[in-house]
Structure 1
Amino acid sequence: MFTGTLTIDLLLGDVHSLKEKRGLIRPVLAELNRRPAVGAAEVAAQDLHRRAVLGIAVVAGSHQRVVELLDDCEGAVAWRPEFELLSVRRRVRSDEDD
């Protein structure tokens, strides 16, 4: 079994309130969470209206599949013009890692 995580730090465009931020972030998280073997949430900067940190976790039977899922999730966030990616941190682990 392999697991992978992405931590995506975003700068939001023309956002002036936390309500507007939720309106942008919520559909992205819903889209990511609809994918099989993927879980996503806003994990930091919840009190900042122009920043968001998304945490994404995936589980698969092979290293290659985890990489494919992480690439797909990163692309789903990166193509959106209302977000600027500040950083992306990626980690892939095997259940044999210790």
Structure 2
Amino acid sequence: MWIGWIEFDILLGDVHSLKTKRSIVRPLVADLRRTFSVSAAETGSLDLHRRAGVGAGLVAADSRHVVDVLDAVENFVAGRPELELLSARRGLSNSDDA
């Protein structure tokens, strides 16, 4: 079993309230879940208006599938016009790793 995760540091555009931030981040998280069948959530910078941390993770039998999905998720987030992707960190591990 392979476990993969990716975490994004995102800069939002002209956002001046947490309510506006939520109106951008919630649809992004929902789109990630629906489009890629991954677990996704807002994971960081919860109290900042213009920054967001968003993470996604998945489990699969094949490491190549995990890497392909994480690549697609990163391209999807990077292509969103309403935000700027500052950085992406990812990890991949096998259930046999101790």
Query: For this structure pair, what is the TM-score category when the shorter chain's length is used for normalisation?
Result: over 0.9
Name 2:45's counterpart in structure 1. Answer: 45
Residues 61-82 of structure 1, C-alpha deviations (whole Å, 9 max, x = no match): 1000000110111111110111
Q: Secondary structure at the match of 2:43?
A: strand
Give the RMSD, CA atoms, in angstroms.
Answer: 1.1
Structure 2 spans left out of the alignment, 5+ residues: none
Identity of aligned residues (%): 50
Structure 1 spans left out of the alignment, 5+ residues: none
Name 1:56's counterpart in structure 2. Answer: 56
The 8 Å contact of residues 40 and 57 in structure 1, kept in 2 or not, is answered as yes
Dislocated runs of 4+, deviation >4 Å: none
The 8 Å contact of residues 37 and 60 in structure 1, kept in 2 or not, is answered as no
TM-score using structure 1 length: 0.94
Q: Deviation at 1:92?
A: 0.6
Matched to 1:20, the amino acid is: T
Cα distance change of structure 1 residues 61 and 87 upon mapping to structure 2, 3 Å threshold? same
Distance in 2 (alpha carbons) for counterparts of 1:58 and 1:35: 13
Name 1:79's counterpart in structure 2. Answer: 79
Residues 5-48 of structure 1, C-alpha deviations (whole Å, 9 max, x = no match): 10100010111111110001111100111245410000111110
Distance in 2 (alpha carbons) for counterparts of 1:82 and 1:55: 18
TM-score using structure 2 length: 0.94
Name 2:31's counterpart in structure 1. Answer: 31
Distance in 2 (alpha carbons) for counterparts of 1:85 and 1:36: 18
Q: Secondary structure at the match of 2:73?
A: helix
